[in-house]
Copies of this chain bind each other. A is one copy, B any other.
């Protein structure tokens, strides 16, 4: 059974522009700053936050390093070289973390992707976050839950600074672009999360379906190394756009313009996500692999 402690949240942060070139969240937060009633509820206060204003102004993902990988204490506490983002992370922590505010906080962090991921709710394995994500998913049957086990990767995210949080990842949409449909979908997801948190705060909350499929992050898959100045491998046409579809051992994942094909050599079927995400090229990441499992087994192992 899933044992969810019902401690209400006092403050919910809706964050846009943690990545400055993901304009959907920026636009929505700008809109809600002028129309705050749309995101207020009875049982908590909603705060609106632009994650990285300088990156937003420059329409880039980040200035020095990825803000959404900058929330480990080692960055915030000055044990590493100071960057624009470590300073910004420290400011955000001071405003968001319950240790500073005395409030129990929840962060909804709005992102977009160039991958065909539809509506994705990203969580850690905290049972409350998972239960809330599962309840949101009931309201949005097409949405998928992408979960990260406890790791530096997930603990370095902005929402890790709050007591609870969900990352909202919507795609595909190019970086630097605002589209009516992606705005509408993202705004709808935020409303459903706020309603779910309101119900959670009121104790009006059904236990999640233990059989709900959840996609647990397994590993990142890198593009094959090629010599400098050589045309790179790219995502194979049979994999392109097939986020969350099963990838069996032996299936093609990369191709090049000479007709070379590289196949997936993993031991068992994985479920790829973030296929061909533009923001990950600089780290040579082609896609991530997840394992699909029922929510219950994840909680048992989490």
A residues contacting B by CB (< 8 A) are 27-28, 30-31, 33-35, 59, 114, 172-181, 183, 187, 229-232, 234-237, 240, 255-258, 276, 278-279, 281-282
Nearest B residue (CB) for A60: B60
CB pair B27–A240 under 8 Å, yes or no, is no
Q: Which residues of B contact A229 (CB under 8 A)?
A: 30, 33
Would you give 7 A-B contacts (Cβ < 8 Å), ordered by A? A30-B229, A31-B258, A34-B230, A35-B257, A173-B174, A176-B279, A181-B237
Bound-complex Cα distance A255 to B181 (A): 12
CB pair A178–B27 under 8 Å, yes or no, is no
A-B pairs with lowest CB-CB distance, top 10: A174-B174, A31-B231, A176-B278, A30-B231, A31-B257, A180-B237, A114-B174, A178-B234, A177-B278, A174-B278
Contacting residue for A281 out of B176, B183, B255, B276, CB 8 A:
B176
CB pair A28–B257 under 8 Å, yes or no, is yes
CB pair B177–A276 under 8 Å, yes or no, is yes
Known: A27-B257, A257-B183. A34 touches B231 (CB 8 A): yes
Nearest B residue (CB) for A27: B231
Max chain B CB contacts within 10 Å: which of A30, A35, A59, A180?
A: A180
